[in-house]
Amino acid sequence: MIGHILRKAALLCLPLLANLAKEQGTASLFSGSEEESRRRESMRRTFRLLGLCAGALIAVAPFASAQNILGANTSGDLFEISPFAGTVVNTIRLTLPGETVRGANGLSRNPETAVLYAILQLQGDSGRELVTVNETTGVCTSVGSTGIRFSGITFTRHGTLYAVSGEGASPSETLYTLSLVTGAPTFALTLGNGGDGEAIAYSPAHDRIYHASGFVDLPAGDFLNNLATGQIFESIDVSGTPTLGPQVFLSGASVNEVGGLVENGKFAFFATDRQNNNVTVITDTGFRTQVSSLNVFSVRGLAFVRPDNDDCSAATVIGTGSFSGTLLGATNDGDTPCGIGEDTSPDIWFSYTAPADGMLTVDTGGTHDFFGTDSGVDTVLSVHSGCPGDVANTLACDDDSAFGTQMGLNRDSIVQVALTATQTVMIRVANYNAGLNSNADVHTGRINLNTSFVADGPVYPNHCNGDRGNQLGCTNCPCFNNAVQGTIGGCLNSTGASTAILVTGDASASLPPGIATDLRISLSGAPPNAFCVMLSGSALAPTNNGNPCFGMGSGVQSPEHDGLRCAVMNLKRHGGRSASAFGAVLDSSGPSRVWGGEAQPTAGLVVQGGFASGQTRYFQATYRVTLVPGCGTGLNTSQAVEVLVAP
């Protein structure tokens, strides 16, 4: 099996390696001895690249990755779980001061406050205790005793907490609401279907709670006659007075007893099996697919881990390029004047700082069709002047626009906002109407975010983007690390980002020393604290007219880089910088200062480089990356930017 994969990797990778053009005019980033050492290791890196290609093939699977989830079990532990891998990332013990915790039976997050709630079994208490959970320490705070043996809880989008009583409770298999002040239950609906095991999960797309119950699958033909003892999957409409919906026929992989249930954002649910510890995806039509098996027992509650950028104050710092995120597990802390229900919609946040005066364009293109036509998130996109992001400080907002290539309905969004140099704005991506819609085109989950910036003044063309899509088929990144089509920037690096440089300012050869409007180059998307060097050349690769990409300015692969070599011939080095903790070179001074502009050398980039009027230079950054993940070279590149020196 492994040999077959390696042979397949060779078929894919060797043509790439064989096409590595040997260009003249290479400038070394390192000292002579270090450069010689690196050249001696070139062959070894080539084989490492081949191995990485094989690893990429081995990793290909129908389910590549997922947002982690939290699980609580009947032993009283709280786990962070990678559901598709079946691995436990972290484990902490749940404790309640003054009490002995015997186990946990339910887990759910309040979408309005982001607080995690659990149902605990306490020593000497025949009922169940409603608590809030500190996810870092596991220390719980009591809300109150419920007096009933509940086995599962779930929040609706409006912050109403529902609970279902277990098979051994009195009354059993009954739906209640729980007070978030006292824990007291209020009757909502009698269920009564299914055997042992009760789990519930709310679906914002349907505004329904789904109920899984029963220990074994129903015998064929007995779907309606054995609801009291067999395994069932049913839904409850909670848009008004709770009403029991029709049974959902179960098919696919076998599940013994559902212990935990949580909607995973694609009209489907993650479910844990109490008996064999399997993790299964159950669609809202009842089809089941086992995706992994855990090494922990009897998981009875599930909730998504919050995204790191769930709060405006914890926004992910980005530059220009393409980025991704998830609304799974996200809560609401923003509002905006467009869209519907935005004061309750889950949202995530990004932060962008303008490198110069100019126009920022942000869009969510590709989100709504991410899983296929009209299968992804219906986004509402807004830009705010600060935190908290609300209606009053909204600079731009959009809900659904016709742009780009949308395969079905126009549900992606786009905004533009004029910014001044060093201005920081907060970008909010939210789910339209909190994901509440009966149509099959509204989901919570994966989002795409694309940013571009056009500075005021001269426009400098970009070359050798690492997306291949704009390069007429030339040139692929070295190890399956192409960026999303349309990306302005280099090949994806070890953090999964595309590093881009932005050139602004005046490229005049006659500017006197000390003029801050001189040519200015900033960088974004590098790994945190990466060492970056700016180079410029007099030509674009490939320069060999025997190369099939000759004349396209698309760059060439190199065994020395995870990215593309683009700027070649008569290379000059313009200095090194240390990227910030956010992977950017945007500062006016210090180790992360820009090249040129207000942080210029004595005579500016053009004069310092000795460039004359009418001369064309191609600027490109080279920077350090980790060997893995990546192509194994330890270096990557940005795209190249063309600058025509003015008089």
pLDDT (tens digit per residue) in 392-436: 999 999 887 756 556 667 778 888 899 998 899 999 999 887 555
Burial label, 62 (beta-carbon count in 10 A; 0-12, 13-18, 19+): exposed
Chain segment 279-328, per-residue pLDDT in tens: 999 988 888 899 998 888 788 889 888 888 999 999 999 988 888 888 88
d(CA 180, CA 156): 13
| Residue that wins the pLDDT comparison between 441 and 122 | 122
Fold of 69-217+228-304: Neuraminidase (2.120.10)
Q: How wide is the angle at C-alpha 85 spanned by C-alphas 81 and 90, nearest 5°?
A: 30
DSSP state of 265: S
* pLDDT at 375 (0 to 100): 62
Q: What 8-state DSSP symbol labels residue 404?
A: S
- Looking at per-residue pLDDT, the higher value among 242 and 17 belongs to 242
More reliable by pLDDT, 335 or 38: 335
Residue 45 has a pLDDT of: 42
pLDDT over 90 (residue 256):
no
Kindly report the backbone phi and psi dihedral angles of residue 219, in degrees, each rounded to the nearest multiple of 5, phi listed first.
-60, 150
The arithmetic mean of pLDDT across residues 433-449, rounded, is 57
Arithmetic mean of pLDDT over the chain? 80
First-residue to last-residue Cα distance in the chain? 63
More confident residue, 449 or 456: 449
Condensed to tens digits (0 to 9), the pLDDT of residues 607-627 reads 888 899 999 999 999 999 998
- Write out pLDDT tens, residues 60-87: 222 333 578 899 998 999 999 888 888 8
Indicate the pLDDT class of residue 461, thresholds 50, 70 and 90.
very high
- Which pLDDT score, from 0 to 100, does residue 402 have? 58
* Cα angle 311-316-318, degrees, rounded to a multiple of 5: 150
Cα–Cα distance, 360 to 417 (Å, whole number):
5
The residue with greater pLDDT, 452 or 621, is 621
- Give the pLDDT score at 35: 42
pLDDT tens digits, one per residue of 217-241? 444 444 443 444 467 889 999 989 9
> What pTM did the predictor assign?
0.61
More confident residue, 405 or 157: 157
The pLDDT value given to residue 113: 84
Q: Are strands 424-431 and 379-384 parallel, antiparallel or unpaired?
A: antiparallel
Q: Are strands 539-540 and 531-537 parallel, antiparallel or unpaired?
A: unpaired
- The residues spanned by each domain of the chain are 69-217+228-304, 308-456, 461-647
Report whether pLDDT(27) > 50: no
624, 617 Cβ separation under 8 angstroms: no
CATH fold for the domain made of 308-456: Jelly Rolls (2.60.120)
Model confidence at 193: pLDDT above 60: yes
pLDDT of residue 471: 53
pLDDT interval class at 194 (50, 70, 90): low
579-608, pLDDT tens digit by residue?
A: 988 788 888 788 988 898 877 666 688 888
